[in-house]
Amino acid sequence: MKRREWIKNAALIGGSLSMSSALRGMPTVAPLGTATPSDSSHGYINLSINENQWGPSPKARSAMVEAVSYAYEYPAVPYRKLRDEIAKHEGVAPSQVLIGAGSSDFLKAGSYVFGGKGGSIVAADPTFNDLMQWAEPNGAKLFRIPWNDAHSPDLPALQSAIRPDTGLVYVCNPENPAGTLLDTAALKAFCEETSEKCPVFVDEAYIDFAGDADALTMMGLVRDGLPIIVSRTFSKAYGLGGMRVGYAVTTPELAEKMKSAYVHGVVCGASHVSIEGARAAYADKKWLAHVVQETAKVRQDFTAFCESIGQSYIPSHTTFVLMPVKQDSKMLADTLFKATNVKISPRFIHNQNYLRISLGSPAQMQRLQTGMKLLLAST
Ligand SMILES: Cc1ncc(COP(=O)(O)O)c(C=O)c1O
């Protein structure tokens, strides 16, 4: 079937791919107190950037609504409260916690502080690109080390790539875009050894989806005083991507260094309202567990679907699934988008085409799956 014909056919099955009111231009938001995923306001279903379709906890929504009345206040007080709450949970001093407008702030700061002035940065290839992307214009030399056969950062190879001028090693765990999780003991040993030579930045954006975050995290090494920077975000499991709150936990010395690069100075770039939302979300472990559980169900259903159509995939510990495809992945993603209004992320990694699909609500996944089934069978 030609691509144009396929798009026509897919459009004809529009009944089964029925549009929500949001997609017809009437954004709706799950009312406060409900546990249903929100509709998208994009005008299309975005399964390309790992947004959490369940959105923030009802308690976080209420906290943000309430905080709007105090939007005239600078965020210093909520900042200190959230910082202290995180410090208490992680067993570190408040001076070891930095809060930013998303964890991207720390990826940027890390690239500037540790990769600037011609230093080098070592990371897996591919990996989440923010830190490397910011490092390059700062004049850092980048050493990108291909994944191992398990689609994971190759820890021994990363270690071998360290040179006298290496300012930082970046490890994303779970890894984006593969969704793989490193063995905790192996990563811990890697961090211990590597941090004798240079700081290690461990990006744990998706760790809540991978199991018991407190057991999987490298925060313990920070408590031990090693030069490790662990970043976390409220954008993923807490469903606050649009509010821009993230944090980093590190040694007091490295925290000071990171602050020196921090574009917004001493107080962070996150707003009063967004920090109050993050505080309520951080306290609401019940909602977090609910979202993680629902996401695991969707992941399970989606991978079962992949198996049913003979589509291979990389087992994921996150909110997205990476799958190798035979066809040109950009063509597949464009065609799917035109026909179904579902956006996914095409990738080309080490001469292999892949699609990375963020896990949405069951209804969104149904729409995607109907389109995928037709598309993969017809191209
Ligand atoms: C691995 C990883 N780290 C960090 C981020 C940045 O997230 P934010 O700046 O919203 O905290 C993302 C966003 O997709 C990500 O995938």
Answer whether 282's CB lies under 8 Å from 243's CB: no
pLDDT score of 117 more than 80:
no
What is the average pLDDT across 338-352? 95
- 10-24, 50-64, 79-93, 212-226: lowest mean pLDDT where? 10-24
Write the single-letter amino acid at 31. Answer: P
Ligand 1 atom showing the smallest separation from residue 235 Cα: 10
The share of the chain scoring above pLDDT 70, in percent, equals 87
Per-residue pLDDT at 332: 96
Phi–psi pair at 306, nearest 5 degrees: -55, -45
Per-residue pLDDT at 259: 87
| Domains of the chain, residue spans | 3-50+286-376, 58-283
Nearest CA to ligand 1 atom 12: 205
Nearest CA to ligand 1 atom 6: 104
CATH architecture of 58-283: 3-Layer(aba) Sandwich (3.40)
Question: Which residue among 236, 243, 244, 263 is best mutated to probe the pocket of ligand 1, counting the most ligand atoms within 8 A of its Cβ?
Answer: 236
Rounded Cα gap, residues 326 and 163, in angstroms: 38
Per-residue pLDDT at 8: 57
CATH superfamily of 3-50+286-376: Aspartate Aminotransferase, domain 1 (3.90.1150.10)
Per-residue pLDDT at 26: 31
Answer whether 367's CB lies under 8 Å from 340's CB: yes
Tokens (6 digits) for 61:
């929504």
What is the band of 246 on the pLDDT scale with cuts at 50, 70, 90? very high
Question: Which residue among 47, 49, 104 is best mutated to probe the pocket of ligand 1, counting the most ligand atoms within 8 A of its Cβ?
Answer: 104
Tokens (6 digits) for 107:
């990826």
Per-residue pLDDT at 269: 83
Q: How far apart are the first and last CA of the chain?
A: 7
pLDDT score of 305 more than 70:
yes
What is the average pLDDT across 45-58? 94
pLDDT score of 243 more than 80:
yes
Q: What's the 190 CA to ligand 1 centre distance in angstroms? A: 23
Per-residue pLDDT at 5: 60
Per-residue pLDDT at 13: 43
In terms of Cα–Cα distance, which of 116, 32, 79, 108 is closest to 267? 79
Q: What's the 8 CA to ligand 1 centre distance in angstroms? A: 36
Query: How many C-beta neighbours within 10 Å does residue 250 have?
Result: 27
In terms of pLDDT, which residue wins out, 267 or 317?
317
Give the helix ranges, DSSP H, for the chain.
Answer: 3-12, 58-67, 76-90, 104-115, 130-135, 155-160, 184-194, 213-216, 219-223, 252-261, 272-283, 285-308, 329-340, 362-378
Ligand 1 atom showing the smallest separation from residue 49 Cα: 14
Give 239's contacts (C-beta < 8 A, 6+ positions apart): 52, 54, 55, 56, 57, 60, 281, 291
